[in-house]
């Protein structure tokens, strides 16, 4: 039987029957090495049509989230730089007081030593941050601390 004979046989069949036969054939078609699954493609297309706005909104949210992360990184960098500046200022002020022979408690020394540790770590992790401004002050504070510990000269 050739294609012409098949088409002649189908002339008497209604359009509804042809659609039903077509759907049945599409449901059955599967070639072993190559899987043809028209229903999943069809439902995927329908899903994209229905959820198109949602998908666009998700893409927009992803873009906004990337922007928020960039802003947060900038804020963290600014905050870290501000904290390093503040630690350096406390270090320099404390060193000035030591040079003017102002006595300090051991707790105050411990706090400044914590600032020195933070400041050095920040400088080591951020090459663009200038460190030369407090090196002699940090050395002097550590030397005076050692002397105060040895001689128990804390107030």
In a domain, 34, yes or no: no
In a domain, 49, yes or no: no
Instruction: Please give the residue range of the domain that contains residue 111.
Output: 54-151
| Confidence category of residue 99, pLDDT binned at 50, 70, 90 | very high
In a domain, 10, yes or no: no
Report whether pLDDT(116) > 90. Answer: yes
pLDDT tens, residue by residue, 120-152 = 999 888 887 777 678 999 999 999 999 988 888
Q: Which secondary-structure segment (H or E) carries 91?
A: helix 38-99
* Distance from the Cα of residue 131 to its chain's centroid: 28
In a domain, 13, yes or no: no
- The pLDDT, as a whole number, for residue 8 is 61
Provide the domain count of the chain.
1
Q: Write the DSSP assignment of 8-63 as a string of letters.
A: HHHTTS-HHHHHHHHHHHHHH---SSS---HHHHHHHHHHHHHHHHHHHHHHHHHH
Residues whose CB falls within 8 Å of the CB of residue 30, separated by 6 or more in sequence, listed in order: 36, 37
Q: What is the pTM of this model?
A: 0.57
In a domain, 115, yes or no: yes
* Residue of higher predicted confidence among 119 and 25: 119
pLDDT tens, residue by residue, 18-62 = 677 767 666 666 555 566 677 777 888 888 888 888 888 888 889
């Amino acid at each position: 039987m050739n294609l012409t004979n098949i088409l002649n046989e189908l002339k008497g069949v209604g359009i509804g029957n042809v659609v039903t036969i077509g759907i049945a054939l599409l449901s059955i078609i599967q070639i072993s090495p190559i899987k043809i699954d028209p229903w999943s493609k069809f439902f995927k297309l329908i899903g994209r049509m229905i959820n198109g706005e949602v998908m666009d909104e998700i893409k927009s949210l992803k873009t906004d989230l990337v922007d928020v992360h960039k802003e947060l990184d900038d804020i963290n960098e600014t905050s870290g730089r501000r904290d390093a500046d503040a630690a350096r200022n406390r270090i320099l002020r404390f060193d000035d007081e030591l040079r003017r022979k102002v006595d300090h408690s051991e707790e105050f020394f411990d706090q400044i030593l914590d600032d020195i540790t933070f400041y050095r770590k920040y400088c080591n992790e951020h090459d663009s941050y200038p460190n030369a401004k407090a090196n002699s002050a940090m050395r002097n504070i550590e030397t005076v601390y050692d002397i105060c510990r040895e001689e128990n000269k804390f107030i």
